[in-house]
């Protein structure tokens, strides 16, 4: 635990100087980072409810599928219809799928069922969503047209107004008049955001929209690289109908269906009104294997160029035409491409050569794209890996830091070299006591208020220095909170099959994302009490300010990391403000967390302010993140 030593209680002063224009705030300062970890997509954002829908999760048994009825039987066969679907589930009688920790049932909901099946006779296959013991049927329908040929059969299941809301349910398929049923894929989707087919879970998209992210970095993260060279994100195999996607091994201990494919990532960007930041595979695997620069790397460079072409290519290009065929005529607004992920872990020192090869090829074909390196900045996870042969447009820096150290990073960019590349803080998060890659299921699954305060303190420094920090995003984004659902201890948004909640850090970042201008305002804090941990000292208050030059709105962020309330005198030099405004505050016990049972235990509260002038005072609660929204004249 951090012990705090305080000076005598005094009134600190925050001076805001409008006498000269501040730096331009990066229009992409706050965004999102995502990868398949903690069942972020399968069992999370991606709407699919059937777990192990293609029977590929376990070669020895049909994981998450069980026989229904005393005389029923199930077994795996290597008799699937295609190379992408080589396995079939042979069913005699009935079979049930338990979903991702249950099948969510809600009143007045419509579910789309799609089954690739054949039978040894004719007649319908019955489908139902039932209670776990089969005693209650919540919705049912028949799949018509089954016979001895593999066919895609579809049906709609609808719940009535009086069904309970529960995740203690399963999907059941029964053979009907036929004796034997073979399945190669079973897919069940609930209502999705905007009704998109193969789409996303509504409540999770809505939470992201509230953050107002300006970009989405995808597909990873370690998920981009994979444990071996063969396990990289296979973007080509993620295109087209889901029955043509074989899936692949994830580095986080479970198989990915690749239902969240390249096009789905891009459509997700559209849904949350964000620009894509595409990370391309650069020849490094997590086990340390590397494709060295030169001839062997050329196919990987071409693979990246093809992937970019899919995103922004015109109809005259091969992959642009494929995107159009897949249903999206317009190119996506791609501006940034990241070459690899965390290549500072490459002990062979090959990244500079690999980066040069990718950089030159990308710039030659797409000169307007900004290319991001994963090393080469002033600091990367405490190590220095300078790049000398090419100057990247941005350098990706990552920080997973204990809360105290994260607060110390609030001044990191104050004296950062402005002559080099811009900075992309592509992964960052504060943790409390146990490092998230060590804690696993022993801590978390989401951050507490102390972490949120440290995160917000860090963001005040990011915001003040947004002339050099062009982009930032927290990681990881999602976590399924069920037992066995998480591999990383500290995450931003938690959920089960039915409900979701934001961590205190989620609310802190939402407050920052919703309240930001286009120019910084110079801020100076004086008379600030110190917080102490042993012989270490940090200020107890942190602040930043930005102004919207179009309408004069002033956004002031104040973080009080002290265990006591703190009065702050505001002194605005060179500007007058309206007498009214708003104050949004996030506060509570620093150890408090949000949960499914108490999703808003730590949540922001907004009040109106009156009687304001260019000099005023305000007391900020202990352990708080606050945003003042004022109007300059």
CB atoms within 10 A of CB 393: 18
Closest to 36 (Cα-Cα) out of 250, 257, 213: 250
pLDDT band at 486 (very low <50, low <70, confident <90, very high): very high
User: What is the mean predicted confidence (pLDDT) over 462-466?
Assistant: 98
pLDDT in tens, 417-432: 898 899 999 999 999 9
- Indicate whether 377 pLDDT > 80: no
Closest to 250 (Cα-Cα) out of 272, 217, 274, 226: 226
User: What is the mean predicted confidence (pLDDT) over 155-178?
Assistant: 95
- Indicate whether 583 pLDDT > 80: yes
User: What is the mean predicted confidence (pLDDT) over 90-108?
Assistant: 98
Which pLDDT score is estimated for 4? Answer: 44
Q: How many Å apart are CA 40 and CA 260, to the nearest integer?
A: 10
104-118, 186-200, 244-258, 436-450: range with lowest mean pLDDT: 436-450
User: What is the mean predicted confidence (pLDDT) over 36-60?
Assistant: 98
| 3-state SS assignment for residue 371 | strand
For 475, phi and psi rounded to 5 degrees?
-155, 150
Which two three-digit tokens encode residue 104? 């969510």
Which pLDDT score is estimated for 386? Answer: 72
- Indicate whether 9 pLDDT > 90: no
For 283, phi and psi rounded to 5 degrees?
90, 20
Which pLDDT score is estimated for 436? Answer: 83
User: What is the mean predicted confidence (pLDDT) over 118-131?
Assistant: 94
Which two three-digit tokens encode residue 76? 């795996």
The domain spans of the chain are 12-23+518-631, 26-45+210-374, 65-191
What whole-number percentage of the chain has pLDDT above 70?
Answer: 97
Q: How many Å apart are CA 161 and CA 195, to the nearest integer?
A: 20
DSSP collapsed to 3 states, 299-361: HHHHHHHHHHHHHHCCCCCHHHHHHHHCCCCCCCCCCEEEECCCHHHCCCCCHHHHHHHHHHH
User: What is the mean predicted confidence (pLDDT) over 620-626?
Assistant: 98
- Indicate whether 2 pLDDT > 50: no
CB atoms within 10 A of CB 61: 13
Q: What is the DSSP string of 104-150?
A: -B-TT-EEEEEEEEEESS-SPEEEEEEETTSS-EEEEEEE----SS-
pLDDT band at 36 (very low <50, low <70, confident <90, very high): very high
CATH code, 12-23+518-631: 2.60.40.1180
- Indicate whether 381 pLDDT > 60: no
User: What is the mean predicted confidence (pLDDT) over 604-628?
Assistant: 98
Which pLDDT score is estimated for 10? Answer: 84
Mean pLDDT for all residues in the chain: 95
Which pLDDT score is estimated for 388? Answer: 84
Which pLDDT score is estimated for 261? Answer: 99
Q: What angle do CA 463, 465, 466 make, to 5 degrees?
A: 65
Residue 424: HSE in the Cβ half-sphere, 13 Å Cα cutoff: 28
Q: Contact 35/427 with Cβ under 8 angstroms?
A: no
- Indicate whether 323 pLDDT > 60: yes
1-5, 152-156, 211-215, 622-626: range with lowest mean pLDDT: 1-5
Please identify which residue in the block is written with the tokens 């990308």.
362
26-40, 320-334, 369-383: range with lowest mean pLDDT: 369-383
Q: What angle do CA 616, 629, 615 make, to 5 degrees?
A: 15
Which pLDDT score is estimated for 440? Answer: 60
Which two three-digit tokens encode residue 545? 């300010």
Tell me if 12-23+518-631 shares its fold with 26-45+210-374.
no
Would you give the distance in Å from CA 230 to the centre of its chain?
24
Taking each helix axis from N to C terminus, what angle separates 298-312 and 318-325, rounded to the nearest 10 degrees? 50
Burial code (b: 16+ CB inside 10 Å, e: under 16) for 83-116 equals ebbbbbbbbbbbbbbbbbbbbbbbeebebbbbbb
Which two three-digit tokens encode residue 55? 């029977």
For 89, phi and psi rounded to 5 degrees?
-100, 120
Q: How many Å apart are CA 403 and CA 539, to the nearest integer?
A: 14
Q: How many Å apart are CA 493 and CA 446, to the nearest integer?
A: 7
For 232, phi and psi rounded to 5 degrees?
-60, 160
| C-alpha pair distances (Å), 392 with each of 96, 110, 300, 423, 512 | 52, 48, 19, 10, 28
Which pLDDT score is estimated for 384? Answer: 58
Which two three-digit tokens encode residue 214? 């300006």
- Indicate whether 383 pLDDT > 70: no
pLDDT band at 444 (very low <50, low <70, confident <90, very high): confident
Residue 25: HSE in the Cβ half-sphere, 13 Å Cα cutoff: 28
Q: Contact 458/599 with Cβ under 8 angstroms?
A: no
- Indicate whether 365 pLDDT > 60: yes
Burial code (b: 16+ CB inside 10 Å, e: under 16) for 342-373 equals bbbbbeeebbbbbbebbbebbeeebeebbbbb
Which pLDDT score is estimated for 379? Answer: 54
- Indicate whether 250 pLDDT > 50: yes
User: What is the mean predicted confidence (pLDDT) over 553-574?
Assistant: 98
Q: How many Å apart are CA 197 and CA 77, to the nearest integer?
A: 29
CATH architecture of 65-191: Sandwich (2.60)
Statement: 26-45+210-374 belongs to CATH 3.20.20.80:
yes
Please identify which residue in the block is written with the tokens 């069913």.
91
- Indicate whether 332 pLDDT > 60: yes
Please identify which residue in the block is written with the tokens 């066919």.
151
- Indicate whether 6 pLDDT > 70: no
Higher-confidence position of 88 and 438: 88
């Amino acid at each position: 635990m951090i012990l705090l030593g305080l000076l005598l209680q005094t009134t600190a002063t925050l001076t805001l100087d409008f006498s000269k224009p501040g730096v331009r705030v990066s229009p992409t300062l706050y965004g999102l980072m995502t990868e398949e970890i903690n069942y972020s997509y399968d069992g999370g954002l991606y709407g699919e409810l059937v777990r192990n829908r293609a029977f590929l999760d376990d070669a020895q048994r049909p994981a998450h599928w069980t026989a229904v009825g005393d005389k029923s039987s199930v077994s795996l066969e290597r008799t699937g219809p295609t190379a992408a679907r080589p396995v079939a589930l042979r069913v005699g009688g009935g079979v049930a799928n338990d979903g991702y920790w249950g099948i969510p049932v809600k009143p007045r909901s419509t579910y789309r069922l799609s089954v690739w099946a054949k039978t040894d006779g004719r007649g319908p296959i019955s489908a139902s969503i039932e209670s776990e013991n089969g005693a209650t049927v919540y919705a049912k329908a028949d799949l018509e047209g089954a016979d001895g040929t593999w066919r895609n059969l579809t049906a709609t299941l609808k719940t009535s107004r009086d069904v309970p809301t529960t995740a203690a349910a399963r999907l059941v398929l029964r053979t009907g008049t036929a004796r034997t049923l073979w399945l190669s894929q079973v897919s069940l989707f609930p209502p999705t955001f905007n009704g998109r087919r193969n789409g996303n879970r509504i409540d999770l998209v809505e939470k992201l929209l509230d953050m107002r992210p300006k970009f989405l970095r995808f597909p990873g993260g370690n998920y981009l690289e994979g444990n071996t060279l063969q396990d990289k994100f296979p973007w080509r195999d993620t295109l087209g109908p889901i029955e043509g996607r074989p899936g692949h091994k994830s580095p986080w201990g479970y198989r990915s269906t690749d239902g969240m494919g390249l096009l789905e990532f891009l459509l997700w960007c559209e849904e949350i009104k964000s620009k894509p930041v595409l990370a391309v595979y650069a020849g490094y695997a997590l086990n340390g294997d590397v494709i060295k620069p030169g001839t062997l790397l050329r196919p990987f460079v071409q693979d990246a160029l093809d992937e970019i072409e899919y995103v922004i290519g015109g109809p005259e290009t091969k992959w642009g035409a494929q995107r159009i065929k897949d249903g999206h005529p317009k190119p996506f607004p791609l501006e940034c491409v990241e070459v690899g992920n965390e290549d500072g872990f490459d002990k062979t020192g090959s990244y500079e050569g690999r980066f040069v090869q990718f950089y030159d090829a990308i710039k030659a074909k797409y000169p307007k794209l900004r290319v991001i390196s994963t090393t080469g900045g002033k600091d990367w996870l405490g190590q220095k890996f300078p790049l000398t042969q090419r100057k990247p447009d941005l350098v990706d820096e990552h920080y997973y830091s204990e809360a105290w150290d994260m607060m110390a990073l609030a001044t990191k960019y104050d004296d950062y070299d402005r002559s080099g590349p811009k900075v992309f803080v592509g992964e960052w998060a504060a943790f409390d006591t146990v490092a998230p890659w060590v804690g696993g299921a022993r801590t978390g699954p989401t951050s507490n208020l102390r972490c949120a305060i440290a995160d917000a303190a860090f963001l005040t420094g990011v915001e003040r220095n947004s002339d050099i920090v062009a982009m930032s995003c927290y990681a990881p984004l999602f976590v399924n909170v069920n037992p066995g659902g998480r591999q990383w201890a500290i995450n931003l948004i938690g959920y089960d099959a039915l409900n979701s909640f934001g961590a205190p850090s989620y609310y802190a970042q939402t407050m920052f994302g919703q309240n930001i201008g286009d120019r910084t305002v110079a801020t100076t804090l004086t008379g600030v009490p110190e917080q102490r941990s042993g012989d270490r000292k940090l200020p107890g208050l942190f602040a930043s300010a930005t102004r919207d030059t179009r309408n004069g709105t002033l956004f002031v962020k104040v973080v009080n990391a002290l265990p006591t309330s703190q009065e702050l005198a505001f002194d605005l030099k060179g500007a007058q403000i309206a007498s009214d405004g708003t104050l949004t505050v996030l506060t509570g016990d620093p150890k408090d967390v949000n949960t499914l049972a108490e999703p808003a235990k730590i949540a922001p509260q907004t009040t109106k302010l009156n009687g304001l002038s260019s000099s005023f005072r305000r007391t900020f609660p202990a352990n708080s993140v606050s945003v003042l929204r004022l109007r300059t004249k």
